[in-house]
A = this chain, B = another copy of it.
Amino acid sequence: MQAYKQLEERFGRLTALREISSFLSWDRSVLMPEKGVDQRARQMEILSVLIHDLQTADEVGEWLAQVDRKKLGDWQRANIDVMEWLYNHATAVPAALVAKKMNQETRTEVLWRQARAESNFAMVRDELARLLDIVREHAEVKGKKLKKPAYDALMDSYVPHMTSLEVDAVFDDVAAFIPGFLTAALEYQKEPLPIKGPYPRDRQEQLGRDLCGTLGFDFKWGRLDTSTHPFSMGIGDDVRITTRYNEDEFITAMQAVAHEAGHGFYDRHTPKEWHQQPVGASQNMGMGIHESQSLSIDMQLYRSRDFWEFFAPRVQKILGKSGAEYSAENLYRHATRARRGFIRVEADEITYPAHVILRYRLEKKMVEGKLEVKDLPEAWNAAMKELIGAVPPNDKLGCLQDIHWYSGAFGYFPSYALGAIIAAQLVDKMKRDIPDVMAQVRQGNIAPYTGWLRDNVQAKGCLYRPQELIEKATGAKMSTHFFKKHLTERYLEKAYGGEACSDTSAPGAKRRA
């Protein structure tokens, strides 16, 4: 037990320092004075060096080797599992290569901001090519250490314990489904009556706080603020989410509140007694599972007709609006409107996974040396045509739109679409477990809905690995079946004609063998 205790002590310190680090970054995005950027960067760099040193010290490896798993309880064993994952990732790449990558990331990201503003891919092309070279080297070194293919080694940071072969199977199935389904849905959907602002910021903020109250996001342990890009951070008794307001419309700002509250619930509901340990930090489940929690709220709940039955009168009251445009049905149509759009972060439920699959396929090829930066815009546009049926008129609306690659984050994208797929599977099971859950939602009682997610997912912390958690929570292996079923029911308003689904084995899962 000596080695285990030492690991707990070390990782307890690391957990606190990581909390501090995310908090410094929250402040930077939410309220730091604009000139404070350089000072904050220095503070965060010094903290990150400290974290890295404590995380990768030789004794950590020795304790991990000494620890006798047989003598540990379930949570302790899972804790060691997560520690090992963190340690292996942190020690896989030599410090010099990490520094080289960071340096090139900064250069590329700075240039990308300018290139995106001017929609000029050529401007950042060479820097991105240089960054990709380093990312490939990084992926290779990491892959050797972690005994995984190069791309998988990168992806493992964000989608732990899943292989790209498994992701391919899931994504290929969804990619084959979307184009035809999108055409049918666009044909089927009813044009909503237009709604028109301005919706003053303070009213929207009041609506956002009201929505938090409805969802059970409590300001005794949480905050709602604004930032350029919505995000969430925190744990346990201090969970903070942000949104952004646009006075022309309010549906997007509320959707961001719902999305980030979903992440926030995960951070809140892991078991309190494990909050100081890696097994209690929800982000260690990976971003796929984390997104499943935000999308269970943002997509599954917020874009449901039942929810708008309750929420439309709140909107009318707080924004001071009335008439058919603000009826539940009309607002629901706005919230679920599909289109062949160019921008991922503005995408609807149907095209969103397609945007992500496109990026996954391209980044995997780039890391594997099968696609070069100079050919990226062309490959991007071809994939857009195939999956979404729309080719962006310029690179600003195309391959320049996301920061990820330009800041060196390869392997992150798949988690977004996996989250949507997992959310559909979880909520399908929830509805079978609690047959009147959506009837309750219609009455404004969201507690059974969020309570199911808490009990079946969030309260488990990192006790199980992601795929195991899905199986425990839903009785089925991860499957695309539920996502396709969900889209069909919501966007074509009919029963899904795909393969039947049993509780223990789902069609999508079989394909992954």
- Mark the stretch among A29-37, A115-123, A169-177, A394-402 that contacts chain B: A29-37
A165 contacts the other chain (Cβ, under 8 Å)? no
Cβ–Cβ contact A31 & B223, under 8 A: yes
Cβ–Cβ contact B42 & A276, under 8 A: yes
Stoichiometry (number of copies): 2
Whole-angstrom distance between the Cβ of A27 and the nearest chain B Cβ: 7
Whole-angstrom distance between the Cβ of A316 and the nearest chain B Cβ: 27
Within 8 A of B (CB), among A172-190: none
The digit string for A34-51, where 1 denotes a CB below 8 A from any CB of B, is 111111101100110010
Cβ–Cβ contact B223 & A39, under 8 A: no
The digit string for A265-293, where 1 denotes a CB below 8 A from any CB of B, is 00000000001100000000000000000
Knowing A27-B27, A238-B40, say if A222 contacts B33 (CB, 8 Å). Answer: yes
Which residues of B sit under 8 angstroms from A239, Cβ to Cβ?
Answer: 33
Interface residues on A, range: 35 or more
Whole-angstrom distance between the Cβ of A240 and the nearest chain B Cβ: 8
Whole-angstrom distance between the Cβ of A367 and the nearest chain B Cβ: 34
A271 to B40, CA, bound (A): 18
A38 to B12, CA, bound (A): 15
A17 contacts the other chain (Cβ, under 8 Å)? yes
Which residues of B sit under 8 angstroms from A382, Cβ to Cβ?
Answer: none
Cβ–Cβ contact B39 & A236, under 8 A: yes
Whole-angstrom distance between the Cβ of A284 and the nearest chain B Cβ: 18
Cβ–Cβ contact B20 & A47, under 8 A: yes
A13 to B49, CA, bound (A): 10
Cβ–Cβ contact A33 & B236, under 8 A: no
Cβ–Cβ contact A36 & B237, under 8 A: yes
A137 contacts the other chain (Cβ, under 8 Å)? no
Knowing A27-B27, A50-B50, A223-B31, say if A19 contacts B43 (CB, 8 Å). Answer: yes
Cβ–Cβ contact B13 & A46, under 8 A: yes
- Which of A13, A24, A237 has most B Cβ within 10 Å? A237
Which residues of B sit under 8 angstroms from A12, Cβ to Cβ?
Answer: 46
Cβ–Cβ contact B276 & A33, under 8 A: no
Which residues of B sit under 8 angstroms from A236, Cβ to Cβ?
Answer: 39
A240 to B275, CA, bound (A): 30
Cβ–Cβ contact A237 & B35, under 8 A: yes
A244 to B138, CA, bound (A): 52
Which residues of B sit under 8 angstroms from A33, Cβ to Cβ?
Answer: 219-223, 237-240
A16 contacts the other chain (Cβ, under 8 Å)? yes
The digit string for A214-226, where 1 denotes a CB below 8 A from any CB of B, is 0000011111000
Q: Which of B20, B36, B43, B223 contacts A221 (CB 8 A)?
A: B36
Which residues of B sit under 8 angstroms from A27, Cβ to Cβ?
Answer: 23, 27
Cβ–Cβ contact B35 & A220, under 8 A: yes
Whole-angstrom distance between the Cβ of A20 and the nearest chain B Cβ: 5
Chain B, Cβ-Cβ closest to A19:
B43
A212 contacts the other chain (Cβ, under 8 Å)? no
The digit string for A290-307, where 1 denotes a CB below 8 A from any CB of B, is 000000000000000000
Cβ–Cβ contact A32 & B276, under 8 A: no
A223 to B34, CA, bound (A): 10
Q: Which of B31, B38, B39, B50 contacts A19 (CB 8 A)?
A: B39
Cβ–Cβ contact A20 & B36, under 8 A: no
Chain B, Cβ-Cβ closest to A240:
B33
Which residues of B sit under 8 angstroms from A47, Cβ to Cβ?
Answer: 16-17, 20
- Which of A12, A20, A27, A42 has most B Cβ within 10 Å? A20
**A17-B50, A35-B237 known, 6 other contacts, Cβ within 8 Å:** A20-B20, A31-B223, A35-B220, A36-B237, A39-B237, A39-B275
User: Sorted from nearest, which 6 A-B pairs have the closest CB atoms?
Assistant: A36-B238, A35-B237, A16-B46, A35-B221, A16-B43, A36-B237
6 A/B residue pairs, CB under 8 Å, sorted by A: A13-B46, A16-B47, A31-B223, A33-B219, A33-B222, A33-B240
